[in-house]
Amino acid sequence: MSTVTNTTSDWKLPSPRKVGILTLILAESALFTIFVVAYVFYIGKSLNPPYPHQVLEFPWLGSIALFGSSGTIIAAERCLRSGNSKSFLIWWGLTLALGIYFVFFTATEWWKLIMVDGLTIATNTFGTSFYSLVGLHLFHVLVGLVLLSAVFVAAARKKIHADHHEHVEVISYYWHFVDCIWIVVLTVVYIISVRATYE
Amino acid sequence: MSQDIIIEDNYRLPPPEKVGREPGSFTSVIQGLVFTVDHKKLGLMYIASGLLFFVIAGSLATLMRIQLMVPDNTFLPPDVYNRAFTMHGTTMVFLVGMPIIFGFANYLVPLMIGARDMAFPRMYAFGFWVFFFSGLLLYFSYLGAPGIYGAGSAPDVGWFAYSPLTSKAFSRGHSTDYWTMSLLLGGIGSVSTSINILVTIFCCRCKGMTLGKMPLFVWLNLVMVFLVILALPCLSACQIMLSLDRYLGGTFFDTQAGGSAVLWQHFFWIFGHPEVYVLIMPAFAIASEVIPVFSRKPIFGYPVMVAASISIAFLSLGVWAHHMLTIGMSALGNTFFVISTLLVAIPTGIKIFNWLGTMYGGKLRMELPMLFCIMFLFQFLVAGLTGVMLAIAPFNWQLSDSYFVVAHFHYILIGGLLFTIFAGIYYWYPKAFGRMLDKRLGMAHLVFFTIGFHVTFLPQHFLGFLGMPRRIYTYQADRGWDLWNFVSTVGVVFQAIGILFLVANLIYSYVRGKKAGNDPWDAWTLEWATTSPPQDYNFAELPEVKSRRPLWDAKHPNDPDWKHE
């Protein structure tokens, strides 16, 4: 068998980090699929109020913040790639702030649902499937915020350079995924299920 | 990132000092096991802990067979019997099957693709330890589950834990919670290990090893981990929902509050059926390596084998409700799942014909790995045929939840998976430990275990036809089930003797076995190119491959494979 030195360049394979995060996203998609199916299955099946059309309001501000953060993270990434670490820090901080705002927005929404409308996870099947689906998404946002803050702190201490570009890109893949899931949640929860009729 | 940087990443010298401990002392051995990130060591730890849990779950099965040996037996009380079959099933699937196949995949995939390590070695150690502690958590339920109310013990809801058995009303104490948390943890471990294997296969292949030149073992494990990544999160979702129901008052599976018990069945089997193929793919993988080497022919129909495996994986995602034909689906639903299930028989049949095609006209060497694989072919055929029978809806209505089903899936999991795992152990033990397994002890193992297996499980087909339901702790004498139950229990004795021969062989050959050398079987894949056992870094110089059988090329420079492929 012939042997080869490690420096030949005509043998290229994909980056482990990127394949790894894409595979993780695939697994997470399977997890979300089950919760989305459960939510769809229980639309119109709650035995007692409150029903979605009575209590849910379309979360404009939260959604705009979350979708906007996907744009700012792309801008941050571009800045890092071109070696501009100062504007990277600004864009990245903005992403973090938008993410935190989304959590704050959801918290106020849940406060209203629980305290004013009396909808908890144990109230009816709508409550169970709503809080578990939106809560699972919120949990992923929180994990994303931990990752974003870790990079933010490191960048503020000038530890992030252009050659960390791929590490940062992996986090942005995850963040975009969290955004994509929100599109599905918005459609299913805030558009489809509020149109369901209950007896 | 280019390949050379990955190699630099993964190339690690052994630690210069074992942190001040005497090498070989007890503490340094434990330290080595806990701190290791070496894929070979962790692979063996996976297999060893799988075998340990195999002995435990096998003992539970033995207790159940003793209880059923004669009618109206009082050896096990009904509640203990319920715990025994739940723990047996859960353990065999999640703590025996999964870790052993991950062990084989992790030990062999980097060696076969000419890599020095997994893509993420530390994540691999994480996956192993999470699995291991999930197993301990499951068994701790015997002590921890009673809780302060003294209700409950080990889980007793069956391995698929149908709702509403798992609701607070019917499952008091914490037994179901131990089951839930253990499977949730185990799922995290399995998914992280699977991601690791998948990334390793895509990103760490040595120069020249295109996807089309990978050994079939690697291909089939790729399909296997892909299924794990798609299926296991569904199980995790089930466990999260069940916990919400039990602890926060959720109503997912609470029929009185508008929930649906059937939804649990759908969600569980969306995971559960791909899981069956997760367990059988590695069996195919091992057979696809062993059969060509001992037939002295390249595998027959390599691209067809790959295509068949991928189509099995694809079909397996759309057949789950054949486990639920008796719940009263619409005729359309029944028809869909019957047809999709029958379609699985086509690629599976192709595989069997390809293995036979490989053996046909070959110069067969009847060594132990090959003998186990030949037994696998026969037994898997029987299992496949009973599977086709059960896929027919009217037949299924008669025999669902009978001993016929029990016999069917034990022919898959023992006759299919376990026999190829034995073949794999005999085939790769020389690579892992540098010594051959003893042939006479191995023959005794083969003979006793094969006889025991058939004597135990063949009569269970008849018991199913005679109407014996599964999961009953006893039966009356006038049912006509006593003869076959007695025979079935006698078979367990032979199986146990066979396993004893295997354990004796593993220990005896570790000390006294014949030295194996690097390539005792005159094989063709890259793991045989390095030393036995391989060094920490696997290959001193990274290989370069030009065909599917790199070692054949090396041994026959005048007639290499790449001239013909």
Residue B559 CB contacts under 8 Å (≥ 6 apart), including other chains = none
pLDDT, one tens digit per residue, over B95-141 is 999 999 999 999 999 999 999 999 999 999 999 999 999 999 999 99
Residue type, B136: L
Instruction: Provide the whole-model pTM.
Output: 0.92
pLDDT at B511: 93
What values do phi and psi take at B308, rounded to 5?
-65, -40
Confirm or reject contact between A139 and chain B (CB < 8 A): no
This complex has an ipTM of 0.92
Q: Could you tell me the sign of the dihedral formed by the alpha carbons of A28, A31, A35, A38, in that order?
A: positive
**CB-side neighbour CA atoms (13 Å) of A68:** 17
Could you report the per-residue pLDDT of B299-323, keeping only the tens digit for each?
999 999 999 999 999 999 999 999 9
Q: B 496-555 residues with CB below 8 A of A? A: 529, 541-545, 550-551, 553-554
Lowest mean pLDDT among A19-23, A168-172, B6-10, B559-563: B6-10
Interaxial angle between packed helices B419-433 and B261-295, expressed in degrees from 0 to 180 and rounded to the nearest 10: 60
Nearest CB to B529; choose among A1, A45, A127: A1
Contact B448, B501 (CB under 8 A): yes
Q: What is the pLDDT of residue B80?
A: 92
CB A17 within 8 Å of CB A172? no
What pLDDT band is residue B6 in, cutting at 50, 70 and 90? very low
Q: What is the C-alpha to C-alpha distance for residues B40 and B45, in angstroms, rounded to an integer?
A: 9
**A contacts of B249 (beta carbons < 8 Å):** 120-122
- Report CA Rg, chain A: 21
pLDDT at B11: 47
Residue B455 contacts residue B488 (beta carbons within 8 Å): yes
Cβ separation B119–A8 shorter than 8 A: no
Q: How many CB atoms lie within 10 A of CB B78?
A: 12
Burial class (CB in 10 A: 0-12, 13-18, 19+), B122: exposed
What is chain A's mean pLDDT, rounded? Answer: 92
Residue B9 pLDDT level (bands cut at 50, 70, 90):
very low
CB contact under 8 A, B203 and A16: yes
| 3-class DSSP state of A48 | coil
- B26: pLDDT confidence band, cut at 50, 70 and 90? confident
- Give yes or no for residue B20 having a pLDDT over 70: no
**Does the pLDDT at position B147 exceed 80?**
no
What's the start-to-end Cα distance of chain A, in Å? Answer: 75
Q: What is the mean pLDDT of residues B160-178?
A: 89
Burial A55-78 (b: 16+ CB within 10 A, else e): bbeebeebbebbebbbebbebbbe
Per-residue pLDDT reduced to its tens digit, A57-75 = 999 999 999 999 999 999 9
Cis check: omega of the bond before B560, within 30 degrees of 0: no
Residue A162 pLDDT level (bands cut at 50, 70, 90)? confident
Determine, for residues A3 and B541 on separate chains, whether the beta-carbon distance falls below 8 Å: yes
Measured CA distances, B430 to B50, B70, B297, B436, B519 (Å): 19, 44, 22, 5, 9
Amino acid identity at B192:
S
DSSP category for residue A189 = I
- Give contacts of B 163-192 with A, CB under 8 A: 191
Nearest CA in chain B to A17: B199
DSSP B409: H
Percentage of chain B beyond pLDDT 90 is 83
Residues of chain B with Cβ-Cβ distance to A1 below 8 Å are 529, 543-545, 550-551, 553-554
Closest by CA position to B280, among listed B323, B309, B317: B309
Asked if the peptide bond before residue B164 counts as cis, ω within 30 degrees of 0, the response is yes
Q: Cβ of A57 under 8 Å from any chain B Cβ?
A: no
Task: State the Cα–Cα distance between residues B434 and B509, nearest whole angstrom.
Answer: 10
Which of A4, A16, A121 is closest, CB to CB, to B199? A16
Residue bearing the bigger pLDDT, A131 or B4? A131
Banded pLDDT at B15 (limits 50, 70, 90): low
* B192 → chain A, closest CA residue: A24
Q: What band does B1 get if pLDDT is binned at 50, 70 and 90?
A: very low
Q: pLDDT category, B8, cuts 50, 70, 90?
A: very low
- In sequence order, the 6+-apart residues with CB closer than 8 A to the CB of B241 are A38, A132, B250, B252, B253, B267
B240 contacts A56 by C-beta, under 8 angstroms: no
Nearest to B71 by CA among B492, B488, B479: B479
* pLDDT for the residue A7: 47
Inspect the interface and report whether the beta carbons of B237 and A35 lie closer than 8 Å.
yes
As a whole number of angstroms, the longest Cα–Cα distance in chain B is 76
Given a cut of 90, whether residue B18 has pLDDT beyond it is no
Q: Is the pLDDT of residue B417 over 50?
A: yes
pLDDT of B32 > 50? The answer is: yes
C-alpha angle A179/A184/A190, rounded to 5°?
A: 110
> Over the stretch A26-61, which tens digit does the pLDDT of each residue have?
999 999 999 999 999 999 889 998 999 999 999 999
The single-letter code of the amino acid at B242 is: L
Output the pLDDT for position B153.
83
- Return the minimum-mean-pLDDT range out of B89-93, B195-199, B528-532: B528-532
Mean pLDDT, all residues of chain B: 92
- Among the listed residues B192, B224, B200, B216, the one whose alpha carbon sits nearest the alpha carbon of residue B97: B224
- Whether the link from the prior residue into B469 is cis, omega within 30° of 0, is no
Q: Please, which residues have CB within 8 angstroms of residue A120's CB and are 6 or more apart in sequence?
A: A114, A127, A131, B249
Per-residue pLDDT, B135: 96
CB contact under 8 A, B252 and A125: yes
What confidence category does residue B25 fall into, taking pLDDT thresholds of 50, 70 and 90? confident
Q: How confident is the model at residue B564 (pLDDT cuts 50, 70, 90)?
A: confident
Q: Do B233 and A19 touch (CB under 8 A)?
A: no
| The residue type at A100 | I
CA distance A191 to chain B (A): 22
pLDDT at res. A4? 42
Please compute the mean of the pLDDT values over residues B381-399 and round it to a whole number: 94
- Calpha distance B412→B389 (Å, rounded): 14
The per-residue pLDDT for A11 is 85
Mean pLDDT within B329-353: 94
**CB under 8 Å to B185, separation ≥6 — which residues?**
B130, B131, B133, B134, B137
**β-pair partners for B435:** B515
User: Which residue's entry shows tokens 């420096």?
Assistant: A7
Residue that wins the pLDDT comparison between B15 and B387: B387
Distance CA B370, CA B402 (A): 33
- Phi, psi torsion values for B450, nearest 5 degrees: -65, -45
Q: List, for residues A76-91, the tens digit of each pLDDT value.
A: 999 999 988 899 999 9
Closest by Cβ to A31, choosing from B236, B244, B252 = B236
